[in-house]
Structure 1
Amino acid sequence: MPLLLQTFNKLCSKLDNHHHRRGCKSSFSVSRLQAFEDDVSSCLNQLLLSTSDLKSLSFRWLLQLLQGLIPSIHQAFAKLVVDLEYPVGKWGADLVDGYLNYSLNLLDLLNSISFSLAQLRNSRVSLSYALSLIQSSPLMAVSRLKPIVLKRSFEGSEIRGNVKDQKKGCSDEEWAIEKALATMEGLGYWVCGIVLSGCEGDSTAYFEMRRLAAGVTVPAFKVLDSVIFAVVSAKGSVLEEVEEVNAAVAKIIGGGGGEAVEEMRRRLGRLEKTVDGMGKEVDGRFSEVLDGRSRLLDVFRQPKH
């Protein structure tokens, strides 16, 4: 996202000096849009390789999804804008509003993910405390050992697809950017929907965001989504790491001895590590999107010469 807005700033400072490509603009715009979709497909195909043996969702896979797809899509979008030589200062109001609404919705989704991760951290701390009582007060420890049950915070009605179809007469460059923005929006929501569903242990966010991504026409996306849909439909969205901890809780409550306690400690340690890793990644994405949004607004605050 910073790359995108840094590029915008550089281009907008040179608006009066640009000499756009001559010839068949329509053909050039189509080819640049195709290059954007090729970049997106390449990233999706890389993710497909990691889903060949996917049986259930895990933090490891969600982190790979969040790290790999959203930054790559934003970079591909920035490259499209640069190649078209069509800076944000020339965008129509609908296109600007579409981008701003997308970034705002993405911030809301990332914030929801952070909230769910905080719940997971609290559950882990409570379980760790219960384990610390095993030696001194075993009955009290067992009474405090509860499976992790997360509350759903996502409200699907709050997220809407915002990119509008361009009116007749818009430039070829703006048409290509609008199409790419619609793809970026759909995939961004889809990624956050999967991650949020995993963190909440509830599939609602994924199914809602999947609906908003229905207009994404990149073939590789349809293939990848079909894999995720099959996994979630068959196994739900509770993450492997959470299921492992809950299984360990059940084993101790059922009379498991010291070995079961040590196994649970190991699983809680794994959960802590993965939750912290996801939290750092979400915070990074949030900062980048917020910074990009601010930079975009700064473009329009600058006096025109």
Structure 2
Amino acid sequence: MGEINIRMSRSQDPHPPRSFFPFGNPFRMKSPKGSCLSPQLLAVLQAFEATLGERLKKLMPKSRDEILCFSWMTLAVKSLCETHNDILTLITDLELPVGEWDDKWIDVYLDVSGKLLDICNAFSSELSRLSQGNLPLKCALHNLESASSKQYIRACSLLDEWKQLVNSRNPRIEKCSSILDNLVGSLDLPKVKNSAKGKVLMQALYGVKVETVFVCSVFTAAFSGSSKKLLELNVADIHLWAPAFKSLQNVVNEEIRVRFSRGKFTVLNELEAVDTFVKELYPAIRGGVETTEMELPVKKTVEELGAAAEKLSQGIDLLVKGVDGFFQAVLTSRHALLTPVRFDKPVNDRPGRNVTQQVA
């Protein structure tokens, strides 16, 4: 009971990836064996899961056009921040100090949170790369303010530079897929010790993991330009948040696959809008024909390109702040959870087990 099957759209490695939380199957708490949950613990868990369910519902786009616009992506990463912060609150409510955790829990927490920080860095790298593309785009628009043939030729060159940049691939994003594979390992491992509080924590952490892997999978697919990077997570119905998650995953993943099947080079709405106007404008100014005044249709396209470029720039800036916020949330949780360990337990007694250095 409670077994979770996770299937992915890409092939598995010959060796199964390390589990996200190898503390046992959190759904064994529903089994008659082991500790029973008190009404108080059950209320804590249900409150956490209900909040997560409502949070996932808020990510459901009102229309497919909202999927993978930068505002939706910013909302998604903000949701992750809130969910990760909720875990700290949950641990406080459970009165389950980290000092009482098994050493392997600490080891795995360091490993997992470290991988999330790597993913954040990769996303920040990609957003920085896209932001750099704004410079040739803005310069091209500036050159198009003139009716000079030479300026038109220069604008074409700058638009070529922009197209080459946005069509290139970031190797750091490509590595995110293998990181995600390591975060979706099987949960069907030895159960946790006979601790009702531990089982509540594990089930809550599973919800955090599912939302995190889903959002990071969507971002990775969007930034990599391939639907093969998408993950499909099958979640047991015993969770209060399961229906909201399944609906969200189905809608978002399906739309991403449809867009890529149409041959689009990107599924990012604002980036696609800029690319559309660039493709429309480029033939009209290529060759640098001398004119005394820009023709009205071309002038309109230039104005639309300028508006689209500004919207793209603003969207990137918002998402940069969102990803940075998620990075800080993960870093804060590492520090908050591991600081008591540094003082309560000798954690540096084995090679590679320096928590102080890892937190830094």
Could you tell me the TM-score, scaled by structure 1's length? Answer: 0.81
Q: Which amino acid aligns with 1:275?
A: I
The answer to whether 1:38 aligns with 2:50 is yes
* 1:269 Cα deviation after fit: 0.9
> Does structure 2 conserve the Cα–Cα contact (< 8 Å) formed by 1:84 and 1:173?
yes
Distance 1:184 1:74, change over 3 A: same
* 1:281 Cα deviation after fit: 1.4
The answer to whether 1:123 aligns with 2:133 is yes
Superimposed CA distance per residue, residues 2-53 of structure 1 (whole angstroms, 9 cap, x where no aligned partner):
xxxxxxxxxxxxxxxxxxxxxx8524444432322111111112222xx131
Of structures 1 and 2, the one scoring higher in RCO (CA 8 A, sep 6+) is: 2
2:77 pairs, out of 66, 71, 81, with 66
Distance 1:303 1:173, change over 3 A: closer
1:272 is aligned to: 313
> Does structure 2 conserve the Cα–Cα contact (< 8 Å) formed by 1:183 and 1:215?
no
* 1:263 Cα deviation after fit: 1.5
> Does structure 2 conserve the Cα–Cα contact (< 8 Å) formed by 1:252 and 1:260?
yes
The answer to whether 1:287 aligns with 2:328 is yes
**Whole-Å Cα distance in 2 between the matches of residues 105 and 168 of structure 1?**
23
- Structure 2: state its 5+ residue gaps: 1-34, 261-265, 285-296, 346-360
1:144 pairs, out of 143, 158, 177, with 158
Distance 1:113 1:168, change over 3 A: closer
The answer to whether 1:154 aligns with 2:195 is no
Superimposed CA distance per residue, residues 225-261 of structure 1 (whole angstroms, 9 cap, x where no aligned partner):
1111121111135211011100111111121622211
* 1:54 Cα deviation after fit: 2.0
* 1:66 Cα deviation after fit: 1.3
1:3 is aligned to: none
Q: List aligned pairs for 1:46-65, cutoff 5 A.
A: 46-48=58-60, 51-55=61-65, 56-65=67-76
* 1:303 Cα deviation after fit: 4.2
Structure 1 range deviating more: 26-35 or 115-124: 26-35
* 1:166 Cα deviation after fit: 4.8
- Percent of aligned pairs with the same amino acid: 28
> Does structure 1 conserve the Cα–Cα contact (< 8 Å) formed by 2:98 and 2:338?
no
**Whole-Å Cα distance in 2 between the matches of residues 144 and 100 of structure 1?**
45
* 1:150 Cα deviation after fit: 4.0
2:12 is aligned to: none
Distance 1:76 1:89, change over 3 A: same
> Does structure 1 conserve the Cα–Cα contact (< 8 Å) formed by 2:143 and 2:155?
yes
Q: Which amino acid aligns with 1:250?
A: K
Could you tell me the TM-score, scaled by structure 2's length? Answer: 0.69
Larger radius of gyration: 2
Partner SS state of residue 141, structure 1 = helix
RMSD: 2.4
* 1:139 Cα deviation after fit: 1.5
1:104 is aligned to: 114
> Does structure 1 conserve the Cα–Cα contact (< 8 Å) formed by 2:143 and 2:152?
yes
> Does structure 1 conserve the Cα–Cα contact (< 8 Å) formed by 2:280 and 2:301?
yes
Structure 1 range deviating more: 241-250 or 94-103: 94-103
Partner SS state of residue 26, structure 1 = coil
- Structure 1: state its 5+ residue gaps: 1-23
Superimposed CA distance per residue, residues 192-245 of structure 1 (whole angstroms, 9 cap, x where no aligned partner):
22233334443344x1xx34x444752211111111112111113521101110
1:254 is aligned to: 283
